[in-house]
Structure 1
Amino acid sequence: MTRTLLLSTAMLLATGAAQAQTPPATQAAAPDTGLEDIVVTAQRRNEAVQDVPIAVSAFSAASLEAKGITQTLNLISYVPNMFGSNNTGLGSANAYYIRGLGNTETIATFDPPVGTYIDDVYMSRQNANNFSFFDLERIEVLRGPQGTLFGRNTTGGAVNAILKKPSDTLGGYLEAGYGSYDKVLLRGSVDLPMSEMVQFKISGYYADDRGYAYNSTTKEHTNDNDMAGLRGAVQLKITEGLTWNAAVAYMRNDGENLLNWPDDPRNTANSGGRFLTTGMVQNYTAASPSPYVGLGVTGRKAGFGLGNKTDTMLYTSNIEYRGEQHTLNLITGVIDMRQKFALDFADGRGLPNIANPNPAVTGYTLGGFAILNDGKHKQVTQEIKLNGKLFGDFVDYVVGGYFYDEKNTTDFADVFTLPFAAPPRGFPLLLADRTLNNNTTAKAGYAQFDLNVTEQLKLTAGIRYTDEKKTFQISDNRASCAANPLPIGCLNNNLVASNGVAIPTTQRTKLWTPRFALNFKPNDDVLLFASATRGFKSGGWNARGTRRDTLLPFDPEVVWSYEVGAKTEWLDRRLRVNLTGFVLDTKALQTPSAFVNPSDGSVTFITQNFADYQNKGLELEITAVPVEGLNVFLNVGYQDDKYKVDPSLAPNRYGVKSVRQQQADCKAQLAAGRVPLAPAGASNAPDCAAGIVDANGNIATPVRTPDWSLALGASYDFAMPSAGIIVTPSVNAAYRSRLETGTANATIYSGQVRSTATGTLFPTNPFSGDFITGSRTNGFWQVNASLTLRTDDNNWTVAVECSNCFDKYYAQSSLVNYTYISPPRSWMVRAKRNF
């Protein structure tokens, strides 16, 4: 079992899923003592992973179990050049970065560049992509743009989860676990074949814990990871070649990722846990009603307590007709997602600056900076796909058509509390309360042809055409704006930029995304490949703006990726070495940025196409079985990336200052003795540490792209034949070198700095010293380990496992100079019974 843990970690190409528990349907034949390949659908057809000319990491069901991977966020440690974390505030949302492309936004006018798929159905909203797993067959992580076969919004890559189909054999499993923070885990699945024609499967999971962070103001626990799900699936084998698989699933995630610290900010002598201090409470009562109603917040969201609740309904259908040479699939998906949250992004107090890097605890009851959100998101997808062979075995092909329709309604409000009145209420200011309606309709057609020129040489050419339309509407919920909609702070569809140019409320994109590849396979153990692929991510609007002139559009992000690679096996399939090199060129990179407004201390959000982006790198995966029972792996990723900024000083068409002009203004402010991240006033250098210009006036380092990433581990199966037991200890460690998490690299360090413009001496500085708070993340290691006992018939399994075993933490994201750190050490004991 842990054997699979290590084999599967050898990511790139399913580099390892060497466990006999993986179903035969997903495994290519291999010697019993060697490595096994997972069969993947990275090219929308079944192929052994070692034969696919794509950088793909595949994990079998047994591999996921051995690693203790029970939800999507756990994958990031095992995929080279992949970084990820929960979004700020939201435990239900994952921000994935692959080869430098990612997005931390969840509002519906932003699309993630790493697409999430469940059974070939695209999940458009990042808000709920941190789901737990039902009865999984495998997961594939595809690195690099997948614009030809997977379509829009896969410029960084794709995470593809494939669930098991109902079996024609009665059976299943039950699993229970208990762990840190009183976590309870229950999972199970049962196959119920009714006949040779009709089979059912019912799967479910439940996870509940009290939360690892303690609020010393309200005496409540938060940052829990509560999840639940139930899925029913049916398989109808109508004829020998005609099959229909359909499923309906409900998934719930009530997790948070609120600011927290290892020492209690209210009392730093209280340490040894995780603490926060916001005055927002989790539930309101008649005796203690919501303070947001009196502030003027409208709708259901005014009554939301601190927390996040996300509910998703997923309907999938796949009708497949399989002939001798061709297979036709009709794939339908419907996703209905509802999200309600009230989150404090400033821990119930002020925002850090170099005059006050650790704002005093105030416990503001309306939060320091709170966002209340009530969202409804529904999408429908329909795809027709045909694949097969032509002219004997000379041509392999995949062709298809795709339709996508999404409708979003987001009712949300921003509340910022100023220190003009005594806590715990302070002086709350309702920055905005609005309802956003945005829709997307996309149609696409695609085709890919592989020419088998010889037994060793294959040429691939593919193309996709996408026609996409997006619309945007916004209305202000405040009574004052209903009475007088003219002020610029009232949000409505009369959108005009600061320079007087009208802001469009419709975007139309028509784009071709081709792919070309060359495969050379000199023998069964070596595959050499080279490819060029184009992809794009949809444009959108800066919907978090609190003035009409800031609701600016941004253009689509277009990517070309060039790869060369080798997939090799040695020593009678006991050693696998895979190497990929890539160059990624991105035009009009979409960059979300949030910073403290130097004029009033509030939060400003802006997303624009600030620059182009280039990333070059290498990815090495090594997996080995030196002797029977011993599995080892090593994965290494290297990246060298940078922004490529237009030299023009002219503003864009909406009057937004160019990056080069901002950089020049920043340097002029520094020369005049002004200091970035200072409080509002003459000391502040407002053009520095904002957008993608850092505190020194340089173009910032791109975010979440450590130069080096490393993962290694080993496991060994100790067989005890007399007892009928196999004992498997395993350990794996992951390293990431230094990285930045904020687009402007804004960080506050120890050491005084003086503003010569005003003579003010500040106790901290934004340039260098010991880290206090902000964007910088130093290099870090994290170690996971487990000890598993299983019967040799695999009927019983008991495992003890720890995650982040040495309780190390690192900055995984940042917002308005606050740092969000990774979760603490956790442990779990699991028992599983297969039947």
Structure 2
Amino acid sequence: MPTRKPCSQRFPTPVLFGSALLSGLLATTAHAQMRLEEVIVTAQKREQSLQDVPVAVTALTRDAIEVNNVVDVNDLSGLAPNMTVRPSAGGVNIPAFSMRGITSYGVVAGSDKQISIYLDGVYIGSPRGSIFQLPDIERLEVLRGPQGTLFGRNATGGAISIATRDPLGEFAFRQKLGIGNRDYLRSDTTIDLPSFGNLSAYFTYSKEEQDGDIDNLGAGVTWDRTGFNYGKQTSPDTLGDVDSESFFFSALWEPTDALSVSYKFDYATDEGTPTGNALVSDLYTGTLPPDGAAFLNLLAEANPDLLWNGKTTRPNAVNNAWSVNRDQEVQGHNLTVTWEISDNLLLKNTLAYREADVFQPADISGTSGWVIGDFVAMFVGLPGDTPFCYACSQSNGESEQFSNELQLTWDGDWGTVTGGVLYYDSDDESGSPRDSVNTFIFGFFPEYVVPNGNQGYSLNQAESYAAYAQAEIAITDDLDLLAGLRYTKDDKSGNFVQGTPEAPVFNKFEYDDDHVDYLIGVNYAISDAIMAYAKFSTAYVSGGSVAGFGFEPEEAESWEIGSKADFLDGRLRANLALFDVSYDNLQTAQSGANVEGAENISVLIVEGGKLEAQGAELELTALPFEGLTLSAGIGYQDVEFAEVTDEVAATVFAVGPNAFPNSSFEPTLVPEWNTTLSANYESEPLFANAYLSLGITGIWHDDIRLESNPGRAAATPFGSAEFSPATWNVNARAALKSIEFGDHWVGEIALWGRNLTDSDELNFVTNFGGFVSGTFEAERSYGIDLVLSYE
């Protein structure tokens, strides 16, 4: 068996080559030792150099996190090739990811996500409430493509791994205060405590507030929910408000050089308001029943000024009288024990518990607050001053999870083996509060008292057991064989409760299945500076049942070839990945109103057929001269349905008696081309140790399809809402850092801006058949940060 060279020997200082133009730009004798910093990632569940890892992974540096003000997963959109993130409609903090052709929601209990989120190695199961702020991000990695072997189920599109920092072990203090437009205020307070023997700790408290960017014409309406213990709530003045608090605590005990015990606790609340929903099409009555068509026509006549009439840019005001502040609480505990048994053997155990609770009434249709006119009141038999909402959600989500993962890593001369076992248990509930109205309300609210009538509630309990192993074996000095295998067993059971409190209807289910995923590949060191790899991998999303409607596991098979290369004495880095992935039994979230037999179900999972995606991802980083770093990420993806089931096609009227002319079914929320360009500059000291730090990032995507059926878009008033147009979004930050005040105090002052181009395009739409509603890019924001630190 050949002896494998350590990474430091296999990838020493890269050789110099490249075009004459590029060489002229980057070459310099004055800074011969200048090179890009090594980036450490854990994409294979162990620390490695980014350039040694045969995975398409984007590692966001501290500079990128700071310039783009990344505090939650929503802020990641566009920062990695072929990845976008958009908040789903409804205000319940569910991110809608797209990556390599797949779109991931996980909007209802009983369903899972195609793109997983990990916090300090712990999988966050429930998507509800998974958007929360973390003030101490140390490292953030975006892993693109199926990750079924090491990261397990529910990662057919990829995974996002967030790592927080450990304590410093000495006293330190940092206070950051930010102010900005729309009454923006943020305060971050961090205190590292002096170590006590082998024990060190720190904590951070953060508070952020900002007014929303859309005025609410329905402000001041009070909804009485005392019938089910939520009291009275008043519709806010603005929509898109930020009102969050978070607390983070970390402790590290290192009794010996070989043993460490880490405990981390995060707690966050959110009382912000949902983003404004607006009508983005005229009313359409062509496929509706006669009564529905007549009603919508009469409604339009009674409220002509409140229709949005096909405008698809962010409005100044909408009437979302039904929307109120959300009530979200998220917390988690993480206990990680790491034991270096020998120079070659490392044992790691991660024990974790998390829980989340979210309640959010939100206007999804953009119609709440419409007042029924006299003529329409006669039609529906209600008083003339009754507020109306065509589709409003009153969603409640409660989840808790427990997990334990035991991992063993062997690193020897002949290769590396990582193996482990995992146990995961979760309880997830979502829907309208019990003894309440349906999650989607098609009705009226006389006297502003929410009726205590129907209920629609999903309860899901899941257990998962897994065992995995992945080996990287040296065949020669330059050639490695990569192989991995994972076995997973899923047990699920649950209930969907609907009907009146006096006569509830129970839809119980049980689900039991197992699955095997595998990976096989090769890594080849073309030279000391270039590593190429090729691999085939599989992954799956667990099957299950929603409201008694079962669905099979979604499966992914992927080919990927790529290279990791450092050129020009380490001053130019080029990482390339080419991929071809097939998704089978595609799981799609659909309204039950469009599914036969599920008319009273708000959302369920429908098997959508087969999806094919091919594409390329290129990431470039260059250091043309001391202090300036230039980066570019370019993504291309060609995505199409190879097969569409009649069930999912019917949800967009592509089959059946209501089919539109020239109907088809196209992927949504997936741009064909996307680009990220960034520049970061740090000056020489201007005075004492103070220096200037400048950063700017431009994020571009081409047209993004929002409507699945082009035939329906052409035949209805969907209009320009069929696509979100190509647009640039620019973030920037300029800071004067390391301003010294005495021996230990250091200050910083910074100006920053997000969405400086003030992009106001649609980013998410909901089609109700009769009309379309949508949400929009958040308005430009800007401000100033003041930082004072004791070091």
Does the pair score TM above 0.5? yes
Q: What is the deviation of 1:581?
A: 0.2
SS at match of 1:74: helix
1:567 aligns with 2:584: no
Aligned to 1:552, which of 546, 549, 571? 549
Q: Which residue of 2 aligns with 1:471?
A: 493
SS at match of 2:107: coil
Question: What are the residue-to-residue correspondences of 1:665-680 with 2, within 5 Å?
Answer: 666=654
Q: Aligned AA for 1:400?
A: G
Identity of aligned residues (%): 23
Give the Cα separation in 1 of the matches to 2:261 and 2:168: 13
Q: Which residue of 1 aligns with 2:358?
A: 339
Give the Cα separation in 2 of the matches to 1:135 and 1:185: 15
Q: Which residue of 1 aligns with 2:266?
A: 249
Q: Which residue of 1 aligns with 2:135?
A: 134
Aligned to 2:575, which of 562, 573, 578? 578
Distance of aligned partners of 1:466 and 1:440 in 2 relative to their CA distance in 1, 3 Å threshold? same
1:319 aligns with 2:337: yes
SS at match of 1:492: strand
Normalising by structure 1, report the TM-score. 0.77
Aligned to 2:629, which of 624, 628, 631? 631
Distance of aligned partners of 1:400 and 1:418 in 2 relative to their CA distance in 1, 3 Å threshold? closer
1:696 aligns with 2:696: no
Give the Cα separation in 1 of the matches to 2:599 and 2:403: 43
Give the Cα separation in 2 of the matches to 1:661 and 1:92: 28
Q: For residues 498-537 of structure 1, give each alpha carbon's deviation from its aligned partner in whole angstroms, at most 9, with x where no partner exists.
A: xxxxxxx111121111111211113332110111111111
Aligned to 1:734, which of 693, 696, 699? 699
Is the contact between residue 349 and residue 363 of structure 1 (CA under 8 Å) also seen in structure 2? no
Q: What is the deviation of 1:143?
A: 0.6
Q: What is the deviation of 1:784?
A: 1.9
Question: What are the residue-to-residue correspondences of 1:275-286 with 2, within 5 Å?
Answer: 275-280=317-322
Q: Aligned AA for 2:355?
A: D
Give the Cα separation in 1 of the matches to 2:94 and 2:639: 26
Q: Aligned AA for 1:170?
A: F
Q: What is the deviation of 1:73?
A: 1.4
Give the Cα separation in 2 of the matches to 1:509 and 1:223: 41
Is the contact between residue 616 and residue 637 of structure 2 (CA under 8 Å) also seen in structure 1? yes
Distance of aligned partners of 1:172 and 1:95 in 2 relative to their CA distance in 1, 3 Å threshold? farther
For structure 1, the residue ranges without an aligned partner over 5 or more in a row are: 1-29, 282-305, 352-361, 483-490, 495-504, 544-550, 648-656, 670-684, 689-694, 754-763
Is the contact between residue 414 and residue 430 of structure 1 (CA under 8 Å) also seen in structure 2? no
Is the contact between residue 386 and residue 447 of structure 2 (CA under 8 Å) also seen in structure 1? yes
Distance of aligned partners of 1:56 and 1:746 in 2 relative to their CA distance in 1, 3 Å threshold? farther
1:376 aligns with 2:398: yes
Q: What is the deviation of 1:437?
A: 1.8
Q: What is the deviation of 1:257?
A: 3.6
Q: Which residue of 2 aligns with 1:396?
A: 416
Give the Cα separation in 2 of the matches to 1:172 and 1:262: 48
Distance of aligned partners of 1:331 and 1:633 in 2 relative to their CA distance in 1, 3 Å threshold? same
Q: Which residue of 1 aligns with 2:514?
A: 510
Q: What is the deviation of 1:541?
A: 2.7
1:458 aligns with 2:480: yes
Q: What is the deviation of 1:603?
A: 9.1
Q: Once structures 1 and 2 are overlaid, which stretch shifts more, 626-635 or 210-219?
A: 210-219
Q: Which residue of 2 aligns with 1:821?
A: 776
Distance of aligned partners of 1:104 and 1:811 in 2 relative to their CA distance in 1, 3 Å threshold? farther
Give the Cα separation in 2 of the matches to 1:553 and 1:830: 51
Q: For residues 278-328 of structure 1, give each alpha carbon's deviation from its aligned partner in whole angstroms, at most 9, with x where no partner exists.
A: 2226xxxxxxxxxxxxxxxxxxxxxxxx23222111000001111211110
Relative contact order: is structure 1 or structure 2 higher (C-alpha 8 Å, sep ≥ 6)?
2
Distance of aligned partners of 1:209 and 1:612 in 2 relative to their CA distance in 1, 3 Å threshold? same
Give the Cα separation in 1 of the matches to 2:625 and 2:725: 37
Give the Cα separation in 1 of the matches to 2:305 and 2:616: 42
Distance of aligned partners of 1:319 and 1:660 in 2 relative to their CA distance in 1, 3 Å threshold? closer
Count of residue pairs the alignment pairs up: 692
Q: What is the deviation of 1:728?
A: 3.1
Aligned to 2:681, which of 707, 712, 716? 716
Please tell me the root mean square deviation across aligned C-alpha atoms, in Å. 3.3
Q: What is the deviation of 1:62?
A: 4.0
SS at match of 2:64: helix
Q: Which residue of 1 aligns with 2:751?
A: 800
Q: Which residue of 2 aligns with 1:20?
A: none
Aligned to 1:790, which of 724, 729, 737? 737
Is the contact between residue 679 and residue 695 of structure 2 (CA under 8 Å) also seen in structure 1? yes
Q: Which residue of 1 aligns with 2:177?
A: 176
Is the contact between residue 89 and residue 257 of structure 1 (CA under 8 Å) also seen in structure 2? yes
Give the Cα separation in 1 of the matches to 2:337 and 2:266: 18
Q: Which residue of 1 aligns with 2:536?
A: 532
Q: Which residue of 1 aligns with 2:724?
A: 777
Give the Cα separation in 1 of the matches to 2:442 and 2:192: 58
Is the contact between residue 259 and residue 346 of structure 1 (CA under 8 Å) also seen in structure 2? no
Is the contact between residue 417 and residue 426 of structure 1 (CA under 8 Å) also seen in structure 2? no
Q: What is the deviation of 1:542?
A: 3.6
Q: Which residue of 1 aligns with 2:348?
A: 329
Is the contact between residue 278 and residue 347 of structure 1 (CA under 8 Å) also seen in structure 2? yes
Q: Which residue of 1 aligns with 2:408?
A: 386
Is the contact between residue 276 and residue 775 of structure 2 (CA under 8 Å) also seen in structure 1? yes
Is the contact between residue 595 and residue 651 of structure 2 (CA under 8 Å) also seen in structure 1? no
Aligned to 1:235, which of 252, 255, 269? 252
Q: What is the deviation of 1:563?
A: 0.6
1:493 aligns with 2:507: yes
Distance of aligned partners of 1:638 and 1:661 in 2 relative to their CA distance in 1, 3 Å threshold? same
SS at match of 2:205: strand
Q: What is the deviation of 1:812?
A: 1.5
Aligned to 2:526, which of 522, 527, 535? 522
Give the Cα separation in 2 of the matches to 1:472 and 1:602: 18
Is the contact between residue 92 and residue 358 of structure 2 (CA under 8 Å) also seen in structure 1? no
Distance of aligned partners of 1:479 and 1:722 in 2 relative to their CA distance in 1, 3 Å threshold? closer
Q: Aligned AA for 1:462?
A: G
Q: Once structures 1 and 2 are overlaid, which stretch shifts more, 225-234 or 563-572?
A: 225-234
Is the contact between residue 418 and residue 426 of structure 1 (CA under 8 Å) also seen in structure 2? no
Q: Aligned AA for 2:482?
A: T
Give the Cα separation in 2 of the matches to 1:637 and 1:430: 50
Q: For residues 153-196 of structure 1, give each alpha carbon's deviation from its aligned partner in whole angstroms, at most 9, with x where no partner exists.
A: 11111111111112222224221101222121111322213334
Normalising by structure 2, report the TM-score. 0.81
Is the contact between residue 667 and residue 696 of structure 1 (CA under 8 Å) also seen in structure 2? no
Question: What are the residue-to-residue correspondences of 1:592-671 with 2, within 5 Å?
Answer: 592-594=589-591, 605-645=603-643, 657=646, 666=654
Distance of aligned partners of 1:363 and 1:405 in 2 relative to their CA distance in 1, 3 Å threshold? farther
Q: What is the deviation of 1:363?
A: 9.6
Q: What is the deviation of 1:145?
A: 1.1
Q: What is the deviation of 1:738?
A: 1.2
SS at match of 2:242: coil
Q: Aligned AA for 1:455?
A: D
1:405 aligns with 2:425: yes
Distance of aligned partners of 1:432 and 1:154 in 2 relative to their CA distance in 1, 3 Å threshold? farther
Q: Which residue of 2 aligns with 1:760?
A: none
Q: Which residue of 2 aligns with 1:761?
A: none
For structure 2, the residue ranges without an aligned partner over 5 or more in a row are: 1-30, 221-236, 281-303, 371-383
Q: What is the deviation of 1:712?
A: 1.0
Give the Cα separation in 1 of the matches to 2:449 and 2:92: 29
Distance of aligned partners of 1:267 and 1:107 in 2 relative to their CA distance in 1, 3 Å threshold? closer
Q: Which residue of 2 aligns with 1:309?
A: 327
Is the contact between residue 738 and residue 779 of structure 1 (CA under 8 Å) also seen in structure 2? yes
SS at match of 1:134: coil
1:210 aligns with 2:211: yes
Distance of aligned partners of 1:561 and 1:507 in 2 relative to their CA distance in 1, 3 Å threshold? same
Q: What is the deviation of 1:240?
A: 2.1
Is the contact between residue 68 and residue 754 of structure 2 (CA under 8 Å) also seen in structure 1? no
